[in-house]
Amino acid sequence: MSQGQPPKPHMDKYFDLEPFTIGEVLETAAVSVGDTPIESGDADAIQAAERRASCGDEGESGGLGDTAQAAASFNATAAQNVHKINISDVLTNAASKLPHDKAVTCEDAEAVKGAEVRGRLETVVRPGGVADTMSKAAKVNLYD
């Protein structure tokens, strides 16, 4: 260590964290609302998040977004919740399933929120869901 620099406090290692990524947000949603059957709004949010992670490039066929859309379509016709596909079924280990990942921005959060709201009957996002978690991560990333 040079003589002109003060020693770095040990606390810095706890506060010098990497920004939250879209993959981490998707995995967090898998935990927070994972037992909830996936609906159209959730699938739209997942698809938008995947698109944002790949910087606007169309996701590869069969990716998270396509899987989420197929699950939502299946759930729309399933008679009982017991037979429905849950959010965690699609989003567990999501970060490893994304071809690209990046830090969440406010623009990403707004795009995902818009997609989720357009796909819902209600005009609010699911608490703890993809858009809600994305919004919270974007705010944390602003101050990181």
Q: What is the pLDDT of residue 59?
A: 54
Angle 74-80-86 from CA coordinates, rounded to 5°: 55
**For residues 92 and 24, what is the distance between their CA atoms, to the nearest angstrom?**
10
Residue count (the chain) = 144
Chain centroid, CA 32 distance in Å? 11
Contact predicate 35/82, CB 8 Å: no
**For residues 97 and 46, what is the distance between their CA atoms, to the nearest angstrom?**
12
**Residue 102 corresponds to which tokens in the numbers above?**
């990046």
User: Using 50, 70 and 90 to split pLDDT, how confident is the model at 57?
Assistant: low
User: Using 50, 70 and 90 to split pLDDT, how confident is the model at 80?
Assistant: confident
Contact predicate 98/22, CB 8 Å: yes
pTM for this one?
0.85
Contact predicate 91/29, CB 8 Å: yes
Q: What is the pLDDT of residue 96?
A: 96
